[in-house]
Amino acid sequence: MYVAECDGRLIGWVHVYVNHSLLADMPAEVAGLVVDENHRGRGLGRVLMEQVERWAKEQGCCSVRLRSNVLRSRAHVFYERLGYRVIKSQKAFCKDLG
């Protein structure tokens, strides 16, 4: 996880991990990227994603993958500007066991 702060306040973070899989290459996965609404559009998300990519290379990963809710069109434009491309669409399922 990498964080960004301004004047001692957390203004952004990204969580990345290596996805070890028997079925695919070894990609890095972005589990979450958040930039405070008041600090968006200033390049902070780009800096955090650049750090993710550097880290992923250091870990021997061949790609970085992430998921983004279909409703988050601004985020999709952001990722596409960084060179990411849509590789599939899917539905997500969950069953509560409580």
Provide the residue ranges of all domains of the chain, joining segments of one domain with +: 2-81
Query: Domain 2-81 falls in which CATH fold?
Result: Aminopeptidase (3.40.630)
pLDDT at 14: 98
pLDDT reported for residue 24:
72
Residue 33 CB burial class (10 angstroms; 0-12, 13-18, ≥19): buried
- Provide the pLDDT for residue 87: 94
Task: Write the pLDDT tens digit of every residue in 43-58.
Answer: 999 999 999 999 999 9
pLDDT at 23: 74
The residues of the chain scoring below 70 in pLDDT are none
Structure tokens, 68: 């983004």
- pTM, full prediction: 0.90
